[in-house]
Amino acid sequence: MKEVKRFRKLLKPESTALLIIDIQDRILPVISNYERVIEYTLKLIKGFKVIGLPIYYTEQYPKGLGQTSKAILDELKDIKPFDKMSFSCSGAGNLFVEFREKNLSQIVICGIESHVCVQQTVLDLIENGFQVNLAADAVSSRKEIDYQTAIQRMRHHGAEVTTTESVLFELLNVCGTPQFKEVSKIVK
């Protein structure tokens, strides 16, 4: 009997990391649906913790834009941010190098703004051979047209556009485990 193949781009825990981009207090009030971005980012963080996967986050010019939102910082606790001045996270110190050194080839992305820092990061990750899974319910921009256009462009160039719940259940692969039960509570 022939072996059943699974889709090669399904997320695998051993190669996946979460990257949270620039969810900072001073810009949040002008972001469309920012409450949703925070809610789904928190679900991703909690789910990644349950599964035991690495989490990274960036702050764009923190001196001017402030720290990451307190709700998110409370969940990140001992994780240190990668500060950046460039829009793309490719300019956030040795972040991409660290992904490579830790054999992290599948990067789940959430954050703001979808048409600037998120989009440039996604495109640079793809250009550098990473698979990007974009949690569309955990990204946003100030204007809906910027959000929609960025999603289309990132998808066109190879990003896997998905949702928070899809990401977490894809990483779990099976139901009935203690991790599944914990993640199920998180996504409800």
The answer to whether the Cα torsion of 153, 93, 21, 9 is positive or negative is positive
Q: Which residues are catalytic?
A: 22, 84, 117
Q: Let me know: does 61 contact 85? Beta carbons within 8 Å.
A: yes
Amino acid at 36: R
Amino acid at 62: P
Q: Let me know: does 95 contact 57? Beta carbons within 8 Å.
A: no
34-51 and 164-172 helices cross at what angle (nearest 10)?
Answer: 10
The answer to whether the Cα torsion of 72, 76, 82, 88 is positive or negative is negative
How far, in Å, CA of 66 to CA of 49, rounded? 25
How far, in Å, CA of 132 to CA of 121, rounded? 10
Q: How many CA atoms lie within 13 A of 122 on its CB side?
A: 31
Nearest to 109 by CA among 126, 136, 134: 134
